[in-house]
Each structure stands twice: as C-alpha cells, then as structure tokens.
Structure 1
C-alpha cells in the first residue's frame, strides 16, 4: 500500500492502486476504502434485516390466530422458569469463579494428570510446570516407545487447559492413539523477576526430562496453541537439538499482516498508544499486568457473541446448554497475570514491533533466529479466525525465506493447512476439528521425516472419518496469495517508532508521578473492581439478593414446563434475539470500519510515511548458493553410495510430481526405513541425507541426474536401487506424465530397468518399449 489502499472483495468495490493518480494518493485510497465499507455494511445488514422482517411477517398470523392465547400462556410460564434457571447459571458461574480464584485457578483439563516438573523449584523459578496426562477409562494404555506429545497452551490472560478441556480434543486424539501426552501448565501469578527467557529455558528442561523418560521413542511432538505457538518457536530456535516436529495452531507470528477491510485487530496498537497502556496497567497493578484486560479486549472483538449470544443461548435452553455454558466459563473466567518485563517484551517485540520474524527480537541478550529451527513445522490456521487470520499465521515464512529454494537449502520442512470457517477458539476446542484436522495432523507426524525439505500445503479431503491427505508443493507466492498484498504493512513501522517515543515519554513524565502512590492493596482493589470480575461477583452467593435463587431453581427443575419448540412466541423470541445480535454486529462493523479509516488517515500522512520509510526493515538478500553449507554439499554431487542414490531418485520423482499423498509417504517410510542400510541409520543421518540430496536436486537438477551412475558403481546396486524406487512409486496408474518421464530418465542414465518390469509387459509403455537394460538408451551427455 505505497500510495493507495488496494481493495479487492468479491462482489464489492475493486480498486487498483497502481492506476490511481499520484496526487490522489492516500486521500483517494481512503475514499475507496470508505466506499467499500459503506457498501459492504449496507449490503450485509440490509439483506439480514430483510430476511428477519420476512420471517416475522410470516410468523405474525400465528401470534394472533387461533390458539395464540394458549401458546402465549405456555410461553410466559416457560420464560419465567428459564429466567430463574438462567439466573442460577450465572450464580453457579460466580460461585465457581470465586472458588477457583481462592484455590489459584487450576488448569481446566478434562483429564487427570500427575506433576512431572515444577518450574517454581528451579534456581530461577518460573510459574510453569509440565504434567503427564492420565488416560481415562476406556482409552488404550500409553506406550512409552511411541512419540510423546507436548501441548503448550497460550498464556494470554486465561489459564491453561483449553487444548484438553474436552475428551475430543488435541489431548484426546493423542491418547486414543496410545501416545504419552504431556501438558505445559502455568499458575496464576508469575514468580518475582521472572522473564520470558527464564520460561523458555524451563520449557527446554521439561522437554529434556520427557525425552529421558522415553529413550526409545522418537523426538516429542510439540503443539503450540495461539500465543503458545510463538513460545514454541522461540524455544525451538534456542534449543533445536532437543525438539521434534512442531505444530503451531492459530498462532500469530507476523503481526503486521492482514487484509485491508477485513482484519481490524492489528490496528488497535497504533490507535491506543502503542505499549503505553500495558505500561500503565503494570504500574497500577504494582508491577503486574492483569490478564483480565486482555480478555476484555477479546470480548470487544465480537461483542455480539461475548456480550449477548452466549448468554442468550444459555437462557434459551438452560436445561441442555447450561452445562456447556458453565464449562466454557470455567476457562474464560480464569484471569492470570504477567510481570511487566514479560508483557512489555511481548508488546514491543511482537504485537507492535513485529521483530521476531525480522531477526530483531532479543531475549536474555541473544537475538532470536527462527531459521535455526531444524524441526518440521506444521501451521494450522483458519479463514474464520478473526484473532489470527491466515496472513498473520503464515507471512512469517516470507519474512524468513525469500524463496522455497532457500527453505530447501536450509533443509527445512514447513507445512500449512487451512480451515475454511472455524473460529479462533474452535481450533482448540471444536470436537469436529479434533476428529478431522488434529487427528490427521497427528497421523502424518509418523511419516513426516520422509518428506523432502520444502514448503507444502496439507490438503485434507473426504468426510466422516474417511479422509485423504496430500502434500502439495507451494511457492512463497502461493502462500502469500492468502493476503491481499503486504504494502500496507509499511505503516506499522511508523506505529512501532511512535510507540517507542510514547513509551519513553511515559517513563519520563508519567511513571514517576504514579508509582509512589501504588501499593499492593491498591492494585488488588483495582483488580477487584474490574467490570469483568464484578459481573461474576455480583451474580454469586456473595450477593445476599441471590440467596433465594438456588432454592427457586430447584423448584423450577422439579416442576419444569418447557414451551413446545414450535411455539410461535418462542420462535418470535428467537427472531428478536437474532435482530439484537445483528444490531450489535452493525455497531461492530461500523466501529471496525472507523478504526481502519482512522488508522490509515493517521499513519498514511506524509509525516508518518516518512517515519515508516526511515524505520522500515531492510531488504534481505539471501543467495543460497553462497551458503557455506550449501557449497560443501554441492561439492559432493558425484560422491556417495547406495542410500544417497535412492534418496536422490525419490527426491527427483517428488519434484517432478509436485505433490505427495500420505499413502505414498507412508509407503516410503515403511519400505525405505525397513531395508538396509536405512534400517540401521540414525534418524539424524537419514534426515541429513534427505536434506543434502534435496539441495543437490534443487540447485542443479541436470548434474544431479547425470551423476547418479557415480553413486551406484555396479549393476547389482543399480537394479536394487531402481527396484526400491519402483516399489515406492507404485503402479503405473498412480504416476502422472511428469513422474513417468523422470523415471524413464533415471532408467536411461543408469542403463537399468526394475526387475519387476521384466515380469510385467504392461509396464513396457513406461520404459519406451525397452524390455531389458541392454536395450535401454545410453544417458544423454
């Protein structure tokens, strides 16, 4: 977004910024953006309102016709009973909140667990621990030689446990497959002087202990949910040697990214004073940041749902939905704290500064370099996630790597998969997501080591448990297609600089006037009167006016007379609820539009654009052929033996094919790793061979093919190698033309055909009619 804001939405206004006259500049772009928002809001809400009015008109005859009086009487009785039951739900929520607050907000895991390591006992104590999940009755026993699963939940105001708050969850999927499952939990208050660097080091000790407990198992799989995703990534960057595969689910890493007209949350920092609100909150909290503030911000993102719909759903059917309401509120109502050093690092390096993926974030005196991560990384994001939209979950890949060739040259495997519609919390708690995406993600971990370095999109097709998984090769441009361009990110460089100035001004002019007046008692009192806590205190047994509610609720349950589902007045109530929700959504959409317009008006001004240009991240230039490691690998292009030849041939076929199915990947793992010499290789050596041969094939495919005979010195090895590759490639009907052509080229250069083809004349079409090695053409020179 250099001079204008480019918007392209289906069925909406489309503006090509490159066609705008330079003099129009930002003003013209703002006009186009305002026009887009106006049309979009009007179209969406006008259509919804028309639909609701039509439904009410169709229902009106039933509200005044025969039987209406009887239906109204039944409805009034039902409403009165539901009101009592709903009030009792609020009372139970309040009592639960007070009880959990008193005991210290334990994790909301739906499973029993035992403590493994408690970070509070370290020489540098932290409020983190790792527990081992105990399988419930009916689950298979855990097998200690299977890959352990480690789940790191977000510490973003709420407590730990959301990834295992249901039986059908990330935890449940792993337990049903017999994996040992560990969960990283944390406690309400941080330890004094605790830093995120201390937390990272403690988590590394947790993983080392888990690996010690499972010496015969593959390296653990670590799952980082939401903010736990970046925590997992900085852990893997510091300690790559102890990490196994990584899944980051709904995890933001590229904080400036997003689509214009669609992702308003990223603008809040620039319009609210940068890091100053967090510093002020820490000062008023006597050095601690109250997580209730973060939860309040989350609620403001979708106020119709958090302020109305979830309450109405519980009110509309307290008999069936009451338990679900209380279960969710148990987690949502857990408010956790951070030290100032922790929240300040997060805000300045991630939310505002976006330094992590630019290699500028410093933790404990060391620069965090995410390119040091050697483990396969799987990214799970959703188009329906308004907290971590796909650009924020994916664009870090383009920040770190200029091309897929660089990803391959570094020997890295990055996979992403996208859900069409699930919301942010649904990524962790939805039973449907657990039964499909998380199950398939867990299953592919078994064979991911056989996947050559590169960038892939994991495609999941099918339904009702019969899923087919394939890995499609992707380019950086393919991945960036989920964004509408990155030009608008330049303005956030100005936001980061203004935030730095504001923080320095605050520390000089405001902080000295506040801190002397703050005590722990004043901080506790301020936390207690926070509206989000007061809503729970008021509707609890602390309030004497709530005393008769429990008894009334018991009487209602014993004499429940629910209105029939087809009661016209009940249906009218639901339509009215839809209208209320829509009116709040109208407010939200208008508010978000104004926020976005204000942001671009302020940070699109010439002064701010000059600040952004002066503070924009430098252009990176990575020439992979100049990497010392790559040079050393390319010098070995004509050296090696039987294992290097087989891996090179498989990489060549995969490169020609452009994708690989899970079945073929599993066949590769099963056949390749069960045969000599691969069966006796250390896993690290197998990964190294795959990385080396991928680099060779990627950077010099012609020489990689021509030098194959130098790796296989005799006819026996050549026949064995071609036979193995043929077994893995599968029958001819599974090969596409590009794969067939590459297989022919390998046969020609090796003067060898697979022995199976001698016994199957039908395969002659694949080798150009040659029936034996002596008839195969000589390699091209």
Structure 2
C-alpha cells in the first residue's frame, strides 16, 4: 500500500495556542475532512430517502417499469385464451428520428427474474435504443408484478408466440420476420418458444442467458445441491400462498458478490455523493422493483432447468406432447455472453451447443446457424444496461441484423472492432465474423463427465427431497400460510425492508432533508490530497479485498463440499446411479436422428453436379470465404451494392436465404471437390457471362476492404482457373439437370 500523501499539511499556519506545526496542520486536515464527511453523509441519507420514496411510488403502480422510452400498448396477455401477466407495447421513436418503412421489426423481451421490466430499454444506449437508431420499428414485451393464478411457463411461451404473430401482422411489408432480443431468463424462454414455433422468428439475440446449467465453474450452480434441491423452492411458493417472491432471486444475485453488496456500491455512493445520485436512483428503481412468479412456474424452472438441466438435451415436452428441441430453430441464434459474468458465464451460455451436437457435421445436418460473441470483462447486468455495451455491441448487432440472417449453417464467432480510418460506412465500429466450430466452443465450455455425474446425483436427491416435503410438510405449511400470512412475510423480506424502512414517511426524514439541502448550498468538498481522504480510500480498498477473500474461500468451500458429497460412492449407489451408463441421453444418438443424418448426407452427395450459374457462383464464393478467416460487414455491403448493380431482384429475402444456406451446406460437405465440379455446372454458359462472373467475384473480394489471406488468394486462383476452363468447355447432350429435389430438411419442416 502507498502511504497517504501528507503534502497538504505543508505550509499551514501554526495554531494560536503554540502547538507544534505538524499537529496544527493535521488538525486542520481533520477538520476539513470531518466537515466533508458530515456533508456527504447527509447527502447519502437524502438520496436513500429518495430511493425509499421511489420504491413506494413504484409499489402503487399497476404496471411499474424502468423504460427510458415512450410507448403505446398493442396487446395484453390477459386477453389470451390462457391468460398471462405479459403485454406487448410499441416503442415510440424519439422525435425527429422516425423508423424506416419496410425495415424488419425488433422485439425486445425483458427477463422476469425477480425485478420488474424495462432493463432492455433502461437508457438511450440500450437494446431498444440500438434498434431505433438503426431505423427498425421496435416493440417491447414486459409484465406486471403479479402473475395470473395458474399461469405456467408454457402459457408464457404461447403468449410470446401470439405477440410475434401480432407484430408480423402489423408489418406485412417487412424485410423479414421479427428479430427478437431476449435477456437472461427471457433468453431461454424465447428459445423454448422458437423451438416450438420456429416459423414465427427472424434472427434471435440472447444476451446473458443461461442454457446449460451444469456447465462452467460459477458457485451459483452448487447452491441447489448443498441445500437439498428444489424442496426449498416449493417451500417458498407455499409460504407465498401460491406465489414465489422474486426478492429471493435478487438476494441470491447479491450474495454472489458480498464486496459489492455489503460495501462497494454504498461506498461508491458515499465517495461520489455530489454526482452519483441520479445514476444510483435510476438503478435502484430497477433493482427494488420486485415481482412474483407462480409457484408452478418457479418449480418448473428449478426442477426442469437449473437442477434438472433438461433443456439442452431436448428432454422437455409441452403439455400436448411437443418436444422442445433447440435444434428445431431455423433462425440464426446470436449468443452474447461475458467472461466477467458470474451468473451466466460463457460455458453456461454456450454449453447447449456441445450438449446437442457431437461435431460440426451433426450441426450442419440440422441446418442451424449459431453466432457467439464474448466480452472480456462486463458483468451480468452490464450486458443489458452498460452504455458502452449498448452503444457498441448491441448497436452493431442491430445494424448488421440482415447480414447475420444471411449467414449459412454452422458456428461463427463475431467480434466488434474499431473501424480503420477511411471506412465508407461512417461508423466507428465494424462487426467481424469468422467461421468457428464445435471444438472451439468445446474449449470454452470444457465439458466434464465426472462433474455432470455429480450434478445428476444432486438432481436425483432433489427429486427425493421434494417428494418427502410434499408428503410430510407441504400440507401443514399450506394450511398455515394463508394469504394474509404470506403478505406479512413478503413485507418482512430483508430486501423489501431495506427499501421501505427509510423514506419521507419516516419521522426524521424532514429534518434530514432540510440538513441535506443546507449541505448542498454550503458544500465544501475536501481537497483530493487530504490525508484522511486518502486513508479513507485505503480503508475501503482493504474492506473490499477482505470481502473478496471471504467470497473466494466461501466459493471454494461450497465447491469442495458439493464434490465431496455427490462424488461419494455410497450416495451414488443409494440414488441408483449407473457409473457405466451415460449421465444424460444425447439427442444425437436416437435411431431416428441417425437415419435423418444419413438422409441429409445422401441428398448433399447428389447435389454436387446439380445447378447452374447462380449455384456455381455462390459455391465459388463460399469456397473462397472458407479460406479467408475473418470477414467484416464491409463485404456484405459491397456484395449488396454489386448485386444491385448487376442482378435484378428476382427472389425475395426468404428464398435468397434458403438458396444461400443450401449452397453453403453443399460446399461444407464436399470441400475442394466443388471447384472441380464448377465446369460441369457451367457447361453451356456463354464465355462472356463466365468472364463477367469472374470479374464480379474478384471485384467483390478485393473492393470490400476485408483483405485476403494467402489461403484466400490460392482459393480465389483455383476458382478463377475453374471458370476459365468452363469458358472453353462446349455443351454436351444429356447435360446434368439443374432441377434439384427438395431437401430432407424442408420435407421434415413440412411434416412438423
């Protein structure tokens, strides 16, 4: 530690009593610090009073929210056949910045994970703001604090599907289906909805959404096992008279970082009391807006997702028997996660990919497009509320949504980088995308069969304890926890008490408010080099480091306790665990799936020599792209310009996307063989047309500004040579038909 700077004491006049000068200077510094500390304490107390008033005002609203934007209601979930407490609103664009006609609508879905709605549009630089800035019509899906009695997770899925149908009806001339942005809890729920109704969705962006709950190494995943499973969830629902209090979820989040919860955020407010008030008030408005879930909703989430981990292996079924299989999603899925997120680390955000797919060919056979983007340091809430993230990543995702939708099947890694000088897009950032794969994702997720066996044991123990609770304790708890008792318990929750105990209704509040106003009027901030202020900062750092050290030891203790308990052979035997069998059924191992992959492979094998000039040109481009590494959005804009200049618009966006994806899949399947097959596809094409095609391909690659690697140059040379050969080949009788039969993927979709 660096000792405090005592230079502020130099040159101060001695006290009149004749005390030594150093003591006089120290006394003056102490007096200045004490006055500043007293004023700051008054300012903090007054800010906290305003937080309490804000909390009480929010409680009195029917539909509290923290949206920064004006909106108008469009559809209420309460009016659906299976009513829910969700609603759809249209965000009104800021004055002077209307949305553009024909642009794809965006739908931002907020998480219902303890707090109220609005975090996706909390600031101007947010997901909602990014969509509006890009010219897209924007809608928002929020909710009221109280669920409809009997409401289930499946009911909410049906409501979200109804909302998307309504948005599509309002934009019949849209460039594509609605793009959906979903945060945290809303992310996994939207993907479940898209798995059942894939035809409703355009590109899907999920931010900070946990999807594979046993993956990673964050301490939150051990909690269920160390407390005996989801019987506590059932107890919470029973004590709430059929409602689960979201304040418990918020408290779980706060417990993850005691240094921030117990000290850091309060000290930051105290140290910056002159300027921090508005930001602190805005965030606490969201953080203290607790909402409820039905007991059946919360029990489903705990049993099926967080403890059972059944989503990422297609084990979930709807009430009418439809399997919720994320492989059914036909829209591109963009997963945005952060290494600084201790609630949804990248392993939990991406683990569903390695749970569902064995290898890249397995993923390609399902014609699925997955893009992932990672941030190095931002925390969980920062993914949604940070102005820096909203103005960079979310803005680029929104502006490049059409480029994302045209990506072929496969896994891609996206990064947002600074644009080089002279970029014609007039944008400080560029979205760069490169081909990735299962092995790269597996390196992030690091699947561990031994760890999964422990979590499977914890899930089985949870089932046993839940059954015991329901048989032995639940009847008594439900008889005691009447609605008035439940309301009293909710009011006494520590999280609510922390907001409600201090407001303008408190007898001392008027006095504190008057003193705070006086402090603002007479504010004299202490000098930054005051030694007591520096000692204060050092003390704060020491406290935070101590709490961080406690957190590290606590988390390590949780891990050791969990691993020791659920690795024990006696427990594994007691619950009937099979040490030789698989922990979870892999969905790729069913006979139906193997037959489907063989069918797709046979179809792709037949397509090598099927097609004409359009198919050949697309295959040539995809072949070159596969050797280019990272390509940024300049390539997409240049391709759109060249197509506009050289090709009349004959196909709609949906047909264009279908053709692009199929040709890219053929290239991935056949590899270099597609170059050798180009002369066959182009037999009979006029030489002038082939020369124009070659110029088009070369101009596209060289004028986009993306640059070509050595491998890319070699691939381009091979393609140009093949086109030159094709220009010299004369047509022969019995030319291969250019009409292809429907792909197995399309047939399977029709049957579904």
TM over 0.5: yes
Could you tell me the TM-score, scaled by structure 1's length?
0.85
Q: Name which of 478, 492, 514 aligns with 1:529.
A: 492
Aligned to 1:124: 82
1:283 equivalent to 2:283? Answer no
How many angstroms apart in 2 are the aligned matches of 1:566 and 1:691? 63
Contact 1:450 1:665 in 2 (8 A): no
Name the CA shift for 1:413/1:669 in 2 (closer, same or farther; >3 Å): farther
Q: Name which of 607, 611, 618 aligns with 2:585.
A: 618
Aligned to 1:103: 61
How many angstroms apart in 1 are the aligned matches of 2:227 and 2:136? 45
Aligned to 2:115: 158
1:390 equivalent to 2:390? Answer no
Q: Name which of 694, 714, 719 aligns with 1:741.
A: 714
Contact 2:634 2:706 in 1 (8 A): no
- Deviation readout 1:433-469 (Å, 9 max, x if unpaired): 1121112222221322332221111122237963343
1:722 equivalent to 2:680? Answer no
Q: Look up the SS of the partner of 2:626 in the other structure.
A: helix
Q: Name which of 105, 109, 132 aligns with 1:148.
A: 105
Alignment of 1:357-396 (within 5 A): 357-365=312-320, 366-396=322-352
Contact 1:405 1:624 in 2 (8 A): no
Q: Look up the SS of the partner of 1:320 in the other structure.
A: coil
CA deviation after TM superposition for structure 1 residue 109, in Å: 0.5
Aligned to 2:669: 699
How many angstroms apart in 2 are the aligned matches of 1:498 and 1:674? 65
Aligned to 2:375: 419
CA deviation after TM superposition for structure 1 residue 317, in Å: 2.1
Q: Look up the SS of the partner of 1:201 in the other structure.
A: helix
Aligned to 2:526: 563
How many angstroms apart in 2 are the aligned matches of 1:359 and 1:555? 63
Q: Name which of 165, 185, 203 aligns with 1:245.
A: 203
CA deviation after TM superposition for structure 1 residue 156, in Å: 0.3
Contact 2:239 2:478 in 1 (8 A): yes
Contact 1:494 1:612 in 2 (8 A): no
1:201 equivalent to 2:158? Answer yes
Contact 2:407 2:661 in 1 (8 A): no
Q: Look up the SS of the partner of 1:680 in the other structure.
A: coil
- Deviation readout 1:335-392 (Å, 9 max, x if unpaired): 0000111111111111101100111122334220100000011111111111111101
CA deviation after TM superposition for structure 1 residue 129, in Å: 0.5
Aligned to 2:3: 55
Q: Look up the SS of the partner of 1:380 in the other structure.
A: strand
How many angstroms apart in 1 are the aligned matches of 2:173 and 2:370? 26
User: What are the ranges of 5 or more consecutive residues in structure 1 without an aligned counterpart?
Assistant: 1-50, 754-771, 775-781
Q: Look up the SS of the partner of 1:471 in the other structure.
A: strand
CA deviation after TM superposition for structure 1 residue 652, in Å: 1.2
Name the CA shift for 1:504/1:81 in 2 (closer, same or farther; >3 Å): same
How many angstroms apart in 2 are the aligned matches of 1:475 and 1:142? 37
Aligned to 1:179: 136
Aligned to 1:681: 651
Contact 1:451 1:665 in 2 (8 A): no
CA deviation after TM superposition for structure 1 residue 733, in Å: 9.6
CA deviation after TM superposition for structure 1 residue 751, in Å: 3.2
CA deviation after TM superposition for structure 1 residue 773, in Å: 5.7
Name the CA shift for 1:398/1:675 in 2 (closer, same or farther; >3 Å): farther
Aligned to 2:745: none
Alignment of 1:372-771 (within 5 A): 372-462=328-418, 466-487=428-449, 488-610=451-573, 611=577, 613=579, 616-619=583-586, 620-621=588-589, 626-672=597-643, 675-676=646-647, 679-716=649-686, 717-730=689-702, 734-752=707-725
Q: Which moved more, 1:321-330 or 1:395-404?
A: 395-404
Contact 1:491 1:612 in 2 (8 A): no
Aligned to 1:5: none
Name the CA shift for 1:556/1:500 in 2 (closer, same or farther; >3 Å): same
Aligned to 2:178: 220
Contact 2:362 2:597 in 1 (8 A): no
Q: Look up the SS of the partner of 1:357 in the other structure.
A: coil
How many angstroms apart in 2 are the aligned matches of 1:733 and 1:528? 59
Q: Which moved more, 1:213-222 or 1:607-616?
A: 607-616
Q: Name which of 261, 282, 287 aligns with 1:332.
A: 287
CA deviation after TM superposition for structure 1 residue 65, in Å: 6.0
How many angstroms apart in 2 are the aligned matches of 1:336 and 1:674? 54
1:92 equivalent to 2:41? Answer no
Q: Which moved more, 1:215-224 or 1:618-627?
A: 618-627
Across the two proteins, how many residue pairs are aligned to each other?
700
Contact 1:299 1:306 in 2 (8 A): yes
Contact 1:471 1:660 in 2 (8 A): yes
Q: Look up the SS of the partner of 1:358 in the other structure.
A: coil
Aligned to 2:15: none
How many angstroms apart in 1 are the aligned matches of 2:187 and 2:224? 21
How many angstroms apart in 1 are the aligned matches of 2:455 and 2:684? 61
- Deviation readout 1:311-356 (Å, 9 max, x if unpaired): 1111222220011111100000000000111111111111101100
How many angstroms apart in 1 are the aligned matches of 2:52 and 2:405? 49
- Deviation readout 1:199-226 (Å, 9 max, x if unpaired): 1111111111111111222222111111
CA deviation after TM superposition for structure 1 residue 602, in Å: 0.6
Q: Name which of 295, 305, 310 aligns with 2:260.
A: 305
How many angstroms apart in 2 are the aligned matches of 1:321 and 1:94? 16
How many angstroms apart in 2 are the aligned matches of 1:134 and 1:607? 61
How many angstroms apart in 1 are the aligned matches of 2:671 and 2:114? 51
Could you tell me the TM-score, scaled by structure 2's length?
0.88
Name the CA shift for 1:602/1:56 in 2 (closer, same or farther; >3 Å): farther
Contact 1:133 1:182 in 2 (8 A): yes
Name the CA shift for 1:93/1:413 in 2 (closer, same or farther; >3 Å): same
User: What are the ranges of 5 or more consecutive residues in structure 2 without an aligned counterpart?
Assistant: 11-20, 421-426, 730-752
Aligned to 2:224: 269
Q: Look up the SS of the partner of 2:3 in the other structure.
A: helix
Name the CA shift for 1:299/1:597 in 2 (closer, same or farther; >3 Å): same
Q: Look up the SS of the partner of 1:640 in the other structure.
A: coil
Contact 1:719 1:752 in 2 (8 A): no
How many angstroms apart in 1 are the aligned matches of 2:43 and 2:507? 18
How many angstroms apart in 2 are the aligned matches of 1:60 and 1:560? 20
Q: Which moved more, 1:456-465 or 1:501-510?
A: 456-465
Name the CA shift for 1:79/1:735 in 2 (closer, same or farther; >3 Å): closer
How many angstroms apart in 2 are the aligned matches of 1:388 and 1:216? 37
Contact 1:408 1:691 in 2 (8 A): no
Q: Look up the SS of the partner of 1:312 in the other structure.
A: helix
Contact 1:249 1:380 in 2 (8 A): yes
Contact 1:697 1:704 in 2 (8 A): yes
